[in-house]
């Protein structure tokens, strides 16, 4: 695993404390959270775990580096692999630490290189879903111990699903994967490499995706909206901010690890084209700032509480009841219900079972071969002994003959 400190503390514009544009009301920074909630988080260590998912080459790694304004490097590539899932999709765990005032937020990023790279992408979502389920399972087991001190908690608070900027629509694998992820974690779909689409294309693409998400009943994370609030109150401002965020979904994202002079003497994180710069932190160019604000600032606590109170509780209930919360066992998009079902349905176990079967057959074949060889050896030995016996018998005959001749001569 990689331990690193983001440059948050040192840079002039730290990712967590970056000023928001005038159009968006300034959201509450993580250090300014109401005391009680702040306490809850800090006592639990201020952990936030986020998963990035989607096809290779969509800019997931670049996005993570952009988010933490640093290049995350793996010291030892072997140790970064989450071994149980090695065979299909690798799972990299990257740790970062964000500091704001006296508050430290430890961020775990789960990267999933290799997703959807196979010729047959049927069930490509399985390793992602397994990872999320396994974390819930591990947490549940630790909680069931007599001393309920949870030492290891990698429950995923947010899954960023990267959608390819085709401009057409969602692929079946996107829909299937998002469906399954959304019943287990807070799903945030994003349009990758938004700079490859023109503004009108992006607009149409966004609305198409929204339609599919709605039609397929994919439950994406949305900032909570409450009615009955007084106008001009802080809540009203927050509601307006939430509404703006919801309207921008799915967020269009641009990632870059380079900075360029924007012509006004300021260095900005951007992608450079012959016709100009596409700025990551410019709301007119993409939704990067909105997403960062949602993740690490405004809705961080909602993502965490939602994970604990909705997704983890659902998982726990399903596992303990041995049936789904709705009483309907057949929805494949829901988390696994009972260990037996998981065993038989999980390709990981299927693979192990097949390997064991093969091992057993090979062993039996080898033993049979050994037995036949042994049998053959015995036959050979008997033939040899028989041959020897005949030889000895004929020698005896000859000797008897000689004895008789000698006796005759004697007379
Ligand atoms: N045009 C464009 N290219 C990007 C963007 N983000 C990343 N890339 C490029 O896409 C390629 C793949 O990026 P990478 O982060 O390795 O993708 P990953 O496989 O999803 O982790 C690299 O050449 C990046 O420079 C983006 O927002 N726009
Ligand atoms: Mg990558």
pTM assigned to the model: 0.69
pLDDT in tens, 262-310: 888 888 999 999 888 999 998 989 999 999 989 888 888 889 999 999 9
pLDDT in tens, 247-264: 899 999 999 989 999 888
Distances (CA, A) of 211 to 22, 68, 177, 370: 30, 32, 17, 66
Map tokens 């900032």 to a residue: 223
d(CA 96, CA 70): 10
Mean pLDDT (whole number) for 129-140: 91
Mean pLDDT (whole number) for 223-243: 77
d(CA 138, CA 132): 10
Q: Which ligand is nearest to the CA of 117?
A: 1
Tell me, using a 6 A CB cutoff, whether residue 57 lines ligand 1: yes
Long-range interactions of 175-180: CB distance < 8 A, separation 24+: 175/212, 175/216, 175/218, 176/125, 177/53, 177/124, 177/125, 177/128, 178/213, 178/216, 178/218, 178/220, 179/216, 179/218, 179/333, 180/125, 180/128, 180/129, 180/332, 180/333
Distance 63 CA to ligand 2 centre (A): 9
pLDDT in tens, 138-156: 888 888 877 766 667 899 9
Distance 255 CA to ligand 1 centre (A): 7
Tell me, using a 6 A CB cutoff, whether residue 90 lines ligand 1: no
Tell me, using a 6 A CB cutoff, whether residue 164 lines ligand 1: no
Closest to 163 in 3D by CA, of 283, 253, 275, 42: 253
- Edge-first strand order for the sheet with 276-279 is 259-261, 267-273, 276-279
Distance 160 CA to ligand 2 centre (A): 13
pLDDT in tens, 28-79: 455 555 444 555 555 555 688 999 999 889 999 899 888 887 544 443 343 3
Are 152 and 134 a contacting pair, CB within 8 Å? no
pLDDT in tens, 80-128: 444 333 334 567 888 877 776 666 778 889 988 877 766 666 778 888 9
Tell me, using a 6 A CB cutoff, whether residue 60 lines ligand 1: yes
Distance 50 CA to ligand 2 centre (A): 15
């Amino acid at each position: 695993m990689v331990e690193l400190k983001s440059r948050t503390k040192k840079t002039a514009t730290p990712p967590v404390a970056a000023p928001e544009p005038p159009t968006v009301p300034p959201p509450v920074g993580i250090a300014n959270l109401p005391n009680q909630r702040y306490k809850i988080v800090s006592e639990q260590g201020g952990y936030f775990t986020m998963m990035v998912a989607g096809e290779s080459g969509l800019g997931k790694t670049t996005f993570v580096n952009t988010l933490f304004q640093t290049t995350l490097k793996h010291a030892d590539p072997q140790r970064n692999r989450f071994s149980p899932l090695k065979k299909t999709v690798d799972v990299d765990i990257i740790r970062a630490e964000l500091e704001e005032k006296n508050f430290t937020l430890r961020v775990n990023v789960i990267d999933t290189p290799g997703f959807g790279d196979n010729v047959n992408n049927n069930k490509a979502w399985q390793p992602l879903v397994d990872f999320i389920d396994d974390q819930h399972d591990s947490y549940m087991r630790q909680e069931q111990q007599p001393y309920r001190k949870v030492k290891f908690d990698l429950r995923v608070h947010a899954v960023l699903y990267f959608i390819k900027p085709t401009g057409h629509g969602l692929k079946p694998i996107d829909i299937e994967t998002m469906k399954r992820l959304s019943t287990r974690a807070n799903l945030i779909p994003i349009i990758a490499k938004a700079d490859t689409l023109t503004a009108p294309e992006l607009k149409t693409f966004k609305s198409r995706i929204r339609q599919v998400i709605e039609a397929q009943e994919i439950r994406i994370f949305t900032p909570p909206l409450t009615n009955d609030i007084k106008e001009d109150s802080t809540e009203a401002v927050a509601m307006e901010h939430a509404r703006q965020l919801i309207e921008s979904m799915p967020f269009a994202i641009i990632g870059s690890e380079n900075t360029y002079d924007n012509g006004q003497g300021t260095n900005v994180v951007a992608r450079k084209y012959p016709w100009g710069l596409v700025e990551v932190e410019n709301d007119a160019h993409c939704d990067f700032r909105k997403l960062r604000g949602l993740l690490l600032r405004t809705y961080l606590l909602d993502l965490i509480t939602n994970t604990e109170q909705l997704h983890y509780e659902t998982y726990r209930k399903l596992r303990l009841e041995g049936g789904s919360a709705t009483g309907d066992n057949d929805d494949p998009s829901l988390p696994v219900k009972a260990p037996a079902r998981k065993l038989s349905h999980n390709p990981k176990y299927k693979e192990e079972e097949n390997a064991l079967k093969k091992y057993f057959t090979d062993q039996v074949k080898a033993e049979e071969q050994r037995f036949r060889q042994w049998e053959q050896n015995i036959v050979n030995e008997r033939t040899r002994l028989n041959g020897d016996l005949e030889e000895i018998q004929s020698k005896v005959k000859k000797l008897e003959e000689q004895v008789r001749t000698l006796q005759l001569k004697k007379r």
